[in-house]
């Protein structure tokens, strides 16, 4: 199981609101408005084991959306 620094995650989510984010080893690998772009970039760079998440906007938070968080392998 991947253990992530919660403070780091919250800082990253605050910086990239409304975007999909790929993280590995305490570094942001890629960000995009579209999750497909994240998967394409990771595949092209042959990166596995990245933590992928979405940072919802305030409006999306009000709607109560749930987003899947996954590990790219």
Mean pLDDT of the 47-68 span: 81
Q: Model's pTM, two decimal places? A: 0.79
| Short-list 49, 44, 55, 40, CA closest to 70 | 49
| pLDDT of the residue at 71 | 63
CA distances from 19 to 1, 12, 14 (A): 24, 10, 10
pLDDT confidence band for 37 (50 / 70 / 90) = very high
User: How many other β-carbons are positioned within 10 Å of the β-carbon of residue 13?
Assistant: 15
| pLDDT of the residue at 44 | 95
User: How many other β-carbons are positioned within 10 Å of the β-carbon of residue 54?
Assistant: 19
């Amino acid at each position: 199981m991947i253990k992530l620094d919660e403070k780091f995650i919250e800082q990253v989510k605050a910086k990239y609101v409304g975007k999909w984010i790929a993280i590995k080893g305490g570094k942001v690998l890629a960000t995009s408005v579209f999750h497909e772009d994240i998967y394409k970039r990771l595949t092209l760079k042959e990166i596995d084991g990245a933590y992928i998440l979405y940072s919802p906007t305030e409006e999306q938070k009000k709607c109560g959306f749930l987003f899947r968080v996954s590990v790219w392998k």
